[in-house]
C-alpha cells in the first residue's frame, strides 16, 4: 500500500500550513487555549454570530468581503463584514419585534440567497435557534421537521410557500409567522413581507448575554423508519469550528473559500457559514446547482484557494472526459477537502492527476457538529483512509460487551465500532424530544458513532461501513465501502452501491448496483467481467455475486449513496424516510 501514499513536503506549499508537526500539536493542544482565540460578547458569554461577524466588523476587517454571492443568472452581490453586521442586526430586531424569545426555533426553507445567510446570523444574534431545511424537501418531510422542532417562525419564498407550505399549514398551529423573503407587502397578519420588516428595523443590535451552552443550531438527520431526529448543538460548538477551520481547511485570512454544500445540511451550516467567518475569510456562495463548467469557472474567476465539496460532485467530475487544468486556470487552488461519505481511493488519485491536488477526505457526523478525523494538508495521505483524529479529539476502535461496557481494540487493522471520547465542544447535546434514543448513543465516556472502522499501525482510521450496512456472508463480515471502492477501479464503473441480499445458503450474498461511465453500455458480458474483476481483487468470499446496472444510484442530497433504499427496493420492503433523496 505504501507506494500509493501521497507524501507531502512543507517546502512545496505556496502557503505554510497552520499545522506542520501533527504529533506535537496533538499532544499539546487544549480546548482552553482554543477558547482564548475568541473575544466573547461585550455583555458577557459566547455567541456564534458575534464571533463570526461583529468582532470583525468592529475591527480591521470591517471593509473586507465576507460574503460573495453568485446568482445563477450572472448576478453578483458583495457584502462586507460591516454590511453583514448591519443587515443581520436588522434581522435580529425584526425577530425581536415579533416577540421571539431566547431558544425559540426559526426555520429556513429557501434557495441559497444572500438573505438566507444574513438571516442565520441574525437568528443567532437574537438568541433564537437556527433550523435550516433543504429547499427541495417535499411537504411531508417539511411538516415532520417543523412539528418536531416546535417551529415558531419560517423564512421562505413565495414559490416555496405556495407549493410546499400551503398544503400543510393547517397542521402547524404553533407556527406563528411565515416571512416571505421575496414579498413586497404583507399578505396577512401571519404571512409577512421580510423586506418590509427589514426596512422598518434598526441596523443596530446589541447581542444579549449568551451562555456557551445555549442552544444555537438544530439539524435533522433521517432514519430508516419513524420521525427524523433533531440534533441539538450549542454556541460552544464554535470552538470546534475554529479548530477544524485552522487545521483541516487550513484557513488563512487572505483565502477565498468555497463550500458547495447547502445550509440545509450540517456541512453547509458548520462549514458554509460559521467556520469561514470565524476565521475572517471571504466566503463564496453559489446559487446554482452542480454544473462542471460553471464550477471550474468559479474556481478560476474567483481565484478560490480552499474548496470543500462532496464525493458525489467529485465522481460527477470524474465521469467527464476533460482536462480541467488545461481548460481553466486553477492555479490559485491550494487545498481540496471532501465530505459526505467516504472518498474512494481513486477519487483521491484523480484529484492529483487532473487537478494537480490530491483530494483530502475527512470524517464527522451531524451529531459531532464538526470534523473529527481528517487527512491534513501537510500530512501524508493514505488514499481511502479517513485520516487521523484532530487535536483535541480522542478516537478509538471499540467492541461492545454483553454487560453493557466497551473494550478498546488496540490491535491494528481489527474492525470495531468507531467511538469518540466525549468532552469536545461540538458534541450534540440532545436528540430533541428523544432522550432515550440520545442516551443509547453513549457508553460511559464514549460516543458510539454507529460506524464501523479500523485503525492501522500508524493511527490512520479506515471506514468499513455503517454498523447496519455490514454484510455477513459465509461467515465473513464484508464492508460495502470496500467492495464499492474496488469496483470503481474498473474503467467502466462510475459509481457503485453494495448491499447484502438474503440467501439461504450463505446468509447474505453481496450484490452490487453499478452506474457506468460515458462510453460503456450494460451487457451480460460486462456483468461477468465485473464479477471476475471483483473476485480477482477481493477474493470469491467478498466479491459481488450479482451485478445490476442502474443509470443513477439513489443518493441523499448531501451525496451519500442510499444503500438501505437499494436494499428496500431489492427486497420489496417499505422505503422508509426518503425525504433526503436526491431528485
Q: Work out the average pLDDT over 460-477.
A: 79
Domain annotation covers residue 328: yes
476 and 427 share one domain: no
Co-location of 415 and 495 in the same domain: no
Q: How confident is the model at residue 77 (pLDDT cuts 50, 70, 90)?
A: very high
C-alpha distances (whole Å) from 555 to each of 231, 259, 313, 582 are 21, 19, 12, 5
Q: Are residues 513 and 402 in the same domain?
A: no
CA distance 549 to 368: 35
Cβ atoms of 203 and 83 closer than 8 Å: no
Torsion of CA 94, 98, 103, 109, to 10 degrees: -70
CB 180 within 8 A of CB 161: yes
Residue 441 lies inside a defined structural domain of this protein: yes
Q: Is 517 helix (H, G, I), strand (E, B) or coil?
A: coil
Residue identified by cell 445563477 is: 72
Given 455, 480, 508, the domain boundary residue is 455
Q: Summarize pLDDT for 59-69 with one digit per residue, the tens.
A: 999 999 999 99
Would you give the DSSP letter of residue 381?
Answer: B
Look up residue 408 and give its three cell numbers.
478498546
**Predicted pLDDT at 473:** 80
Q: What is the pLDDT of residues 173-217, one digit of tens each?
A: 999 999 999 999 999 999 999 999 999 999 999 999 999 999 999
Q: How many domains does the structure of the chain reveal?
A: 2
Q: What is the pTM of this model?
A: 0.87
CB 161 within 8 A of CB 178: yes
pLDDT confidence bin for 226, thresholds 50/70/90: very low
State whether 502 and 442 are in the same domain: no
Which of 404, 421, 455 is where one domain is finished? 455
State which residues form the domain around 321: 38-455
pLDDT tens-digit series, residues 493-521: 999 999 999 887 777 899 999 999 999 99
The reply to whether 501 and 438 lie within a common domain is no
Q: 353 with 498, same domain?
A: no
Residues 391, 259 share a domain: yes
Do residue 392 and residue 489 come from a single domain?
Answer: no
Q: Are 306 and 227 in a shared domain?
A: yes
Is there a single domain that holds both residue 506 and residue 363?
no
- Residue 413 domain-assigned (yes or no): yes
Same domain (yes/no): 376, 477: no
Give 567 or 523, the one with higher predicted confidence. Answer: 523
* Residue 8 placed within a domain: no
CATH number at residue 531: 3.30.300.30
* CATH number of the domain bearing residue 364: 3.40.50.12780
CA 422 to chain centre: 21
Averaged pLDDT of the chain:
92
Amino acid at each position: 500500500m505504501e507506494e500509493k501514499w501521497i507524501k507531502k513536503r512543507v517546502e512545496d506549499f505556496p502557503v505554510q500550513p497552520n499545522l506542520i508537526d501533527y504529533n506535537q500539536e496533538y499532544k499539546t493542544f487544549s480546548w482552553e487555549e482554543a477558547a482564548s482565540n475568541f473575544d466573547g460578547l461585550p455583555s458577557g458569554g459566547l455567541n456564534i454570530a458575534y464571533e463570526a461577524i461583529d468582532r470583525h466588523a468592529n475591527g480591521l476587517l470591517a471593509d473586507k468581503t465576507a460574503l460573495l454571492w453568485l446568482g445563477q443568472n450572472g448576478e453578483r452581490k458583495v457584502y462586507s463584514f460591516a454590511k453583514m453586521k448591519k443587515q443581520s442586526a436588522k434581522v435580529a430586531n425584526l425577530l425581536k419585534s415579533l416577540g421571539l424569545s431566547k431558544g425559540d426555533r426559526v426555520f429556513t426553507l429557501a434557495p441559497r440567497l444572500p438573505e438566507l445567510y444574513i438571516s442565520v446570523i441574525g437568528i443567532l444574534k437574537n438568541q433564537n435557534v437556527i433550523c435550516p431545511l433543504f429547499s427541495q424537501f417535499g411537504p411531508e418531510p417539511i411538516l415532520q421537521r417543523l412539528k418536531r422542532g416546535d417551529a415558531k417562525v419560517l423564512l421562505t419564498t413565495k414559490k416555496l410557500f405556495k407549493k410546499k407550505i400551503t398544503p400543510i399549514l393547517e397542521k402547524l398551529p404553533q407556527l406563528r409567522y411565515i416571512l416571505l423573503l421575496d414579498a413586497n407587502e404583507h399578505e396577512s397578519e401571519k404571512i409577512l413581507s421580510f423586506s418590509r420588516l427589514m426596512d422598518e428595523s434598526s441596523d443596530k443590535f446589541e447581542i444579549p448575554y449568551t451562555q456557551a451552552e445555549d442552544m444555537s443550531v438544530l439539524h435533522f438527520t433521517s432514519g430508516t423508519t419513524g420521525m427524523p431526529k433533531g440534533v441539538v448543538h450549542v454556541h460552544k460548538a464554535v470552538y470546534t469550528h475554529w479548530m477544524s477551520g485552522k487545521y483541516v481547511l487550513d484557513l488563512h485570512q487572505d483565502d477565498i473559500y468555497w463550500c458547495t454544500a447547502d445550509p440545509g445540511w450540517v456541512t453547509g451550516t458548520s462549514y458554509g457559514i460559521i467556520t469561514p467567518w470565524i476565521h475572517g475569510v471571504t466566503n463564496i456562495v453559489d446559487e446554482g446547482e452542480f454544473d462542471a463548467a460553471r464550477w471550474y469557472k468559479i474556481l478560476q474567476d474567483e481565484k478560490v484557494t480552499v474548496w470543500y465539496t462532496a464525493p458525489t460532485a467529485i465522481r460527477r467530475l470524474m465521469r467527464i472526459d476533460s482536462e480541467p487544468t488545461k481548460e481553466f486556470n486553477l492555479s490559485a487552488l491550494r487545498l481540496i477537502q471532501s465530505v459526505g461519505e467516504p472518498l474512494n481511493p481513486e477519487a483521491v488519485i484523480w484529484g492529483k492527476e487532473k487537478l494537480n491536488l490530491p483530494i483530502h477526505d475527512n470524517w464527522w457526523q451531524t451529531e459531532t457538529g464538526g470534523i473529527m478525523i481528517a487527512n491534513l494538508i501537510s500530512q501524508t495521505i493514505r488514499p481511502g483512509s479517513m485520516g487521523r483524529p484532530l487535536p483535541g479529539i480522542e478516537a478509538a476502535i471499540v467492541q461492545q460487551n454483553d454487560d453493557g461496557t466497551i473494550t478498546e481494540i488496540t490491535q491494528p487493522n481489527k474492525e470495531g465500532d468507531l467511538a469518540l471520547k466525549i468532552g469536545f465542544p461540538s458534541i450534540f447535546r440532545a436528540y430533541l424530544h428523544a432522550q432515550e434514543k440520545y442516551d443509547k448513543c453513549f457508553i460511559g465516556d464514549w460516543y458510539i458513532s454507529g460506524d464501523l472502522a479500523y485503525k492501522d499501525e500508524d493511527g490512520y482510521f479506515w471506514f468499513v461501513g455503517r454498523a447496519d450496512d455490514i454484510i455477513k456472508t459465509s461467515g465473513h463480515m464484508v464492508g460495502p465501502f470496500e467492495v464499492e471502492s474496488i469496483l470503481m477501479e474498473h474503467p467502466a464503473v462510475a459509481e457503485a452501491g453494495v448491499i447484502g441480499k438474503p440467501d439461504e445458503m450463505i446468509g447474505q450474498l453481496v450484490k452490487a448496483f453499478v452506474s457506468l461511465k460515458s462510453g460503456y453500455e450494460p451487457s451480460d458480458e460486462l456483468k461477468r467481467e465485473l464479477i471476475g474483476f471483483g473476485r480477482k481483487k477481493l477474493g470469491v468470499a467478498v466479491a459481488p455475486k450479482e451485478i445490476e446496472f442502474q443509470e443513477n444510484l439513489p443518493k441523499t442530497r448531501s451525496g451519500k449513496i442510499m444503500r438501505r433504499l437499494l436494499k428496500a427496493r431489492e427486497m420489496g420492503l417499505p422505503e422508509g424516510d426518503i425525504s433526503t433523496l436526491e431528485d
